[in-house]
Amino acid sequence: MATPNAKRILIAPLDWGLGHTARCVPIIRSILRRGHIPIVAGNSWQRSFIEKTFAAINFIHLDGYNVIYSEWNRFAQAGLISQLPGLMKTINNEHKWLQPAAKELGINGIISDNRYGLCHPHIPSVIVTHQLQVQTGMGTFTDRSVQKLHYKYLDRFSETWVADVPGTPNLGGKLSHTAMLPRHVKYIGLLSQLTEEKQETTSDGSLLILLSGPEPQRSILSGILWQQAVEHNRRVVFIEGSESCTMPLPIPSHITYHKRLTHEALAPLMQKAGMVICRSGYSTLMDLVALNKKAILIPTPGQTEQEYLGRHLMEQGVFFSTPQKGFELPQALHAANEFPYHRLALSDAYNNYDEVLSQWIEEL
């Protein structure tokens, strides 16, 4: 219940897959617990997810970035570059949208998860990110040039909150740890929608396939994994990560199929799973580390951030990673069973954000 002096806080996650929206769940939960009023901005599927997660929530429509990855890996980077003018236009449009919307809604503070236009000249505005050093895949010079542009956008915000821990061990590697930092940076620890549902649960040995990310690559991987899951001889839980997909029929008796789940429904399935197959999206990785799960990572082809995280965490012995092209389930499971799976000692990092958020709200 809102307090008499409740602050109205706009929260706007990027629509780049479900991860950015899901990792805002603990932030929204904390704001509600403190008696303040979160107002979430996003598109229709983000609204569906948030309203299923929270019984009563203020929501306002805001168009997404609608990034699309090429079906062909060798065109992925060129395809993303070709979308930059459209992304810049979206950033400008959301910045223009914010000015009257903030006044109409009576906003006291703004938390943007990777939406670069949602900064306000007179309202404290925070951007949440895990990527200070953008991985372009086109060499060091290009990476540095893009970083300079990236920092110009970050510096428009009052603060930049990095979803990782300073120093080592950490999760993001060089994505979240660079020699040169933008202004007003705070490392807020890790964010997971699943931490409050964490329980001591015995594994039932099931294989959990958890899909996410932008189209068409989400659907492509779904097709690959579904065909191989049908032939698998043990229990499979298959989660599409999309409400708009067509349910495959028939569904064999050894497969439990879901389109999309709330964090309450997802947590016990992840806790019981003997192995998880998923993208190497940062928010998914934070969930895996929170629950100490073994996983086979399949980076989205052409998404250089995911490809870096897959390589980095495999080199660190944290997760097994393999490319989408040529993926074969039996071989991947055999290799994963031989993998060391060194646990990252970051279990205490999931409460750090709460102190940072509390202090920020008090100063609004």
> 277-297: per-residue pLDDT in tens?
999 999 999 999 999 999 999
Distance of CA 167 to the CA centre of its chain: 22
| Mean of the per-residue pLDDT values of the chain | 90
* CA–CA separation, 210 and 260 (whole Å): 9
Residues 6+ apart with CB under 8 A from 221: 211, 279, 298, 324
pLDDT for 185 beyond 60: yes
pLDDT for 327 beyond 60: yes
Task: Tell me which CATH homologous superfamily contains domain 8-190+350-362.
Answer: Glycogen Phosphorylase B; (3.40.50.2000)
- List the structure tokens of 177: 């740890």
- List the structure tokens of 171: 């999760």
Task: Tell me which CATH homologous superfamily contains domain 195-345.
Answer: Glycogen Phosphorylase B; (3.40.50.2000)
Residues 6+ apart with CB under 8 A from 113: 11, 12, 13, 14, 20, 21, 23, 24, 127, 128, 129
Where do the CATH 3.40.50.2000 domains begin and end in the chain? 8-190+350-362, 195-345
- List the structure tokens of 364: 């609004």
Distance of CA 49 to the CA centre of its chain: 14
What mean pLDDT is predicted for residues 175-197?
A: 91
When comparing pLDDT for 72 and 310, which is higher?
310
- List the structure tokens of 207: 């294989």
Query: Can you give 79-115 as a three-state secondary structure string?
Result: HHHHCHHHHHHHHHHHHHHHHHHHHHHCCCEEEEECC
pTM across the whole model: 0.92
Assess contact for 185 and 166: CB atoms under 8 A: no
The dihedral of CA 321, 326, 329, 331: what is its sign? negative
Place of tokens 């953008």: 134
Q: What is the per-residue pLDDT across 110-152, written as a single tens digit (0 to 9) for each? A: 999 999 999 999 999 999 999 998 876 677 777 787 788 889 9
Per-residue confidence band for 85, with pLDDT thresholds at 50, 70 and 90: confident
Bridge partners of 14, per DSSP, are none
